[in-house]
Amino acid sequence: MSNLFSELNDKQIQAVKATKGPVLVLAGAGSGKTKTLTHRIAYLASECKIPSHNILAVTFTNKAAGELRNRAACLLGQNPNAWMSWRGFGATPALGTFHSICARILREDAGVLGYASSFVIYDTQDQKSAIKQVMRLEGISPKDINPSTILGMISRAKNELLSVDQMRAQARGPIEKIAGNLYAIYQAYLKKNHAMDFDDLLMQSVVLFQKHPDILKKYQTLWQYIMIDEYQDTNTAQYEWARLLAKEHNNIFVVGDDWQGIYSWRGASIRNILEFEKDFKGALVVRLEQNYRSTAPIVELGNLIIAGNKGQMKKKLWTEKTSDFLPQVVLVADEVKEAEKILEVIAINAGLPRRPEYKAPRNDTVEEVTYDYESEGNKEPGILDKIMGTFSKSTKATSPLGLGANLPLASAALSLPAAGSLAQYSLSNIPFDLGQQKIDWNNFACLYRTNAQSRAIEEVLLKYGVPYRIVGGIRFYERKEIKDTLAYLRLLLNPNDGVSLARIINEPSRGIGEKTLGRVQQIARERDVPVLYMMARMDSITAVTASRMTTSQNDKRISPNRIQALKDFALIFERASHEINELTVKEIIDLILKRAGYIEYLKASGDDGKERIENIEELKNVAKKFDVLRGAEGLSAFLEEVSLVADIDTYNPQEGQALTLMTLHSAKGLEFDTVFLVGMEEGLLPHSNSLIDPAQLEEERRLCYVGITRAREQLYMLHTTQRALHGSIVSNVPSRFLSELGDEFVEFTEEGVW
């Protein structure tokens, strides 16, 4: 096995060979944690002769799970595709996200909890639709209580494994009490629709293990070696799930970095990693402290920043990667100058000639843009927040100049500017056709604390024709045509899915209103049959039932035309369900959309119809990976995978050359040659919500550390004298984190400040 260890350092080898008992690997940023995990899987299987199916490795994203699968399989000389499994658990290691592993467990065993194995998984939008229907049934207007607020409270309860009664008992204010009551009705609604939300996948798995020891024993016997990545991001439900599984053999191996715990706002508990040794007695702690990613000044800067936190485990990162280039702290006048400074740096790195004589071409083109706001921590935006929210743009057309994103790579290696050279470079020297220059845009990333900060940056990028991508903008799977297509497929698989039914009953229009659908749903509930079953048999309804088919007490009976429309809609699914057994997922998509008339509807929908159809074609490309499966089995596997896609899973630098814009939370796990941290000001980083809470302030410092350690070669930390944000212009105080830096590791400059 000497070849297996040839790429590892001594600490990594120690971690790989620690195969008995609980192990905590404290893996600093860029220290090779994925390599350690993959080599441990290979070591267990090849040298320790552990049967592959006895190994479980859990991650947080599909991207990380895919990388783990590919690298571990290659180390063992196996085909990674053979390690793919969508039903049950085969002869290979079980590798996946918490949610995907739990979904597969529940597909096998959730019948004892009263769920069908074909249950659907509701994403965020589906959950909002469901809670709105529940609130409507209870006579609660979404205008009085925001549905997202209720969902946030329910989500927190599930992450903490609180039952309905426990949530009610802990309720303090009137909103919490209402949320506790809605929790019960919401769960009943989900169960009636044979649906689970993301939080249910974890909570119901834990409930399954707690209530059915025989099922827990089955999985304890199956998975004798458990590995968990990014352990600092686990919540209460994930912790309990892992604890129960590991209780039998006690072979739990977790990798994480308490310095990168940044997700408390979505339920993560930093205590899980800080108290691992207390929870798992006799645990071995291995510290991976050698950084392979960043230069020495960047690594030292990260150590310096994070040293300000008290609640953390001891370690000190180091690297053999030397550099004379110091991270830059740059003060500029405002957010526009901040964005322009980014382009100055990129122009210097590209070695562009100065062009002071260059005149901007006249451009009268007006481009229509749309904004999409994404709140953090379930905090709802006001109207100004929405206006200032994330500007969603494709990298295919990022400017009125019509400059595309697929640009050739720079022919020369990245050249680092000498310290202090930025002050000699004027924006007037940067050509307005910067986006057409031969620049490797994928080397650069701009990171910010809040989505609203991207607005000014994007305006400058558009002005100079610079191609860019936003991670966390309008996601592919949230586009209307994709949501509609998935709703058709989910309803085909699960005729009880009321949320999908409500979404597509009039896509395309069939003249069926909310009142009509509501009345049919009511009668279906009374008869205890699926709504689709009811619709398909409309013309056989008895005279008594027909007399009750009114949309309200004072309305007329549902018209024959609407009854026929309801029947025709239901028959799309009833007939298709008998025809899909031998079809691939791609063929099922073609069949159901053709029967529904959806593609013809898009063709007639105007200028964007072609693009929407192209997006559906891309969805079918995703479906090709399931060609080995047929019928309902393939469809179920496909829907499960696309339901669990995360933001970072959609990040693909191979799509073309583009400057990457993203929040600091989205950047975790990524790395770039050059990183710009913008908005290094009090109120932004650290965020204003954290200033009076010591625990939240420590998390903000960890967030800053994450941003710093994304950089491989160059790091720029920018702050402004004043900034227009959220509808106001404010004078800024530099971030307290900047005051913690010394001249030894950074260089401070001021440019154009009044």
DSSP states along 236-292: HHHHHHHHHHHTTT--EEEEE-GGG---GGGT--THHHHTHHHHSTT-EEEEE-B-S
CA dihedral 33, 13, 16, 713 (to 10 degrees): 10
Q: Among the options 260, 453, 663, 674, which is catalytic?
A: 260
**Separation CA 656–CA 407 (nearest Å):** 7
What is the total residue count of the chain? 754
238 is an active site residue: no
Q: Does the pLDDT value for residue 409 go beyond 70?
A: no
Tens of pLDDT, residue by residue over 676-687, are 999 999 999 999
The helix, strand and coil proportions of the chain, stated in percent and rounded to the nearest 5, come to 50, 10, 40
278 is an active site residue: no
Query: 399 and 435 in contact (C-beta within 8 Å)?
Result: yes
Q: What pLDDT score was predicted for residue 92?
A: 79
Q: Which has the closest alpha carbon to 317: 334, 330, 299? A: 299
What letter would DSSP give residue 693?
-
Helices (H) and strands (E) in the chain, counts: 31, 19
CATH architecture for the domain at 120-193: Orthogonal Bundle (1.10)
Q: Does the pLDDT value for residue 61 go beyond 50?
A: yes
Positive/negative CA dihedral, 475, 480, 485, 488: positive
Q: What pLDDT score was predicted for residue 604?
A: 81
Query: 121 and 487 in contact (C-beta within 8 Å)?
Result: no
Tens of pLDDT, residue by residue over 228-285, are 999 999 999 999 999 999 999 999 999 999 999 999 988 899 999 999 999 999 999 9
Q: Which two tokens stand for residue 97?
A: 């996200």
551 is an active site residue: no
Q: What pLDDT score was predicted for residue 672?
A: 96
229 is an active site residue: yes
Q: Does the pLDDT value for residue 307 go beyond 50?
A: yes
Q: Does the pLDDT value for residue 176 go beyond 80?
A: yes
Query: In 10 A of CB 57, how many CB atoms?
Result: 26
Q: What pLDDT score was predicted for residue 754?
A: 46
* Residue of higher predicted confidence among 201 and 144: 201
Query: In 10 A of CB 337, how many CB atoms?
Result: 21
Q: Among the options 104, 393, 612, 710, which is catalytic?
A: 710
Q: Among the options 123, 197, 230, 338, which is catalytic?
A: 230
Q: What pLDDT score was predicted for residue 405?
A: 32
Q: Which two tokens stand for residue 64?
A: 């990380």
pLDDT range class, residue 475, cuts 50, 70, 90: low
Q: What pLDDT score was predicted for residue 652?
A: 63
Q: What pLDDT score was predicted for residue 713?
A: 96
> CATH for 2-111+201-288?
3.40.50.300
Where are the chain's structural domains?
2-111+201-288, 120-193, 334-475+649-717, 477-643
Tens of pLDDT, residue by residue over 94-118, are 899 999 999 999 999 999 999 988 8
Q: Does the pLDDT value for residue 41 go beyond 80?
A: yes
710 is an active site residue: yes
Q: Does the pLDDT value for residue 645 go beyond 50?
A: yes
Q: Does the pLDDT value for residue 711 go beyond 60?
A: yes
**Separation CA 419–CA 559 (nearest Å):** 78
Q: Indicate the residue type of 592.
A: I
**Among 152-161, 209-218, 334-343, 649-658, which is the least confidently predicted range?**
649-658
Q: What pLDDT score was predicted for residue 561?
A: 83
**Separation CA 339–CA 460 (nearest Å):** 6
150-169 burial, b at 16+ Cβ within 10 Å, e below that, comes to bbbbbbbbbbbbbebeebbe
Query: 192 and 133 in contact (C-beta within 8 Å)?
Result: no
Q: Does the pLDDT value for residue 290 go beyond 80?
A: yes
Q: Which two tokens stand for residue 502?
A: 């409500």
**Separation CA 104–CA 106 (nearest Å):** 5
342-354 burial, b at 16+ Cβ within 10 Å, e below that, comes to bbbbbbbbbebee
Q: Hey, do 2-111+201-288 and 334-475+649-717 end up sharing a CATH topology, with the first three levels equal?
A: yes
Q: By three-state DSSP, how is residue 93 classified?
A: coil
Q: Mutual orientation of helices 236-246 and 198-211 as an angle, nearest 10°?
A: 40
Pick the CATH number of 334-475+649-717 from 1.10.287, 3.40.50, 3.30.1490, 1.10.405: 3.40.50
Can you tell me the mean pLDDT for 139-143?
87
Residues 6 or more apart whose Cβ sits within 8 Å of residue 737 = 305, 308, 680, 685, 686, 701, 704
Can you tell me the mean pLDDT for 208-228?
96
Omega within 30 of 0 (cis) for the link into 431: no
Q: Among the options 33, 104, 341, 510, which is catalytic?
A: 33
**Separation CA 49–CA 35 (nearest Å):** 20
Can you tell me the mean pLDDT for 51-75?
89
pLDDT range class, residue 360, cuts 50, 70, 90: very low
497 is an active site residue: no
pLDDT range class, residue 401, cuts 50, 70, 90: very low
Which DSSP string do the residues of 388-452 spell out, in sequence order?
Answer: TSEE---TTS-STT---S-PPPPSSPP-PPPTTGGGG--GGGS-TTGGGS---GGGEEEEESSGG
* Residue of higher predicted confidence among 256 and 648: 256
**Separation CA 38–CA 50 (nearest Å):** 15
Q: Does the pLDDT value for residue 545 go beyond 70?
A: no
Q: Among the options 126, 229, 340, 484, which is catalytic?
A: 229
Q: What pLDDT score was predicted for residue 413?
A: 32
Which DSSP string do the residues of 464-516 spell out, in sequence order?
Answer: TT--EEETTSS-GGGSHHHHHHHHHHHHHH-TT-HHHHHHHTTSS--S--HHH
Q: Does the pLDDT value for residue 396 go beyond 90?
A: no
* Residue-averaged pLDDT of the chain: 83
Query: 467 and 435 in contact (C-beta within 8 Å)?
Result: yes
**Among 48-57, 449-458, 586-595, which is the least confidently predicted range?**
449-458
pLDDT range class, residue 382, cuts 50, 70, 90: very low
Query: 219 and 242 in contact (C-beta within 8 Å)?
Result: no
Element (H, E) at 724: strand 722-725
Query: Residues of the chain with pLDDT > 70: what percent?
Result: 82
pLDDT range class, residue 533, cuts 50, 70, 90: confident
User: For residue 351, which phi and psi values (nearest 5 degrees)?
Assistant: 70, 30
**Among 226-230, 411-415, 610-614, which is the least confidently predicted range?**
411-415
Q: What pLDDT score was predicted for residue 407?
A: 28
pLDDT range class, residue 349, cuts 50, 70, 90: confident
Q: By three-state DSSP, how is residue 100 classified?
A: helix
**Residue appearing with tokens 């990168």:** 260
Q: What pLDDT score was predicted for residue 117?
A: 87
Tens of pLDDT, residue by residue over 547-603, are 455 444 444 467 788 888 898 899 999 899 999 988 999 999 999 999 999 999 888
pLDDT range class, residue 82, cuts 50, 70, 90: low
Positive/negative CA dihedral, 156, 159, 160, 164: positive
> CATH for 477-643?
1.10.486.10
Query: Residues of the chain with pLDDT > 90: what percent?
Result: 50
Q: What pLDDT score was predicted for residue 647?
A: 54
Q: Does the pLDDT value for residue 726 go beyond 70?
A: no
Q: Which has the closest alpha carbon to 319: 675, 15, 740, 711? A: 711
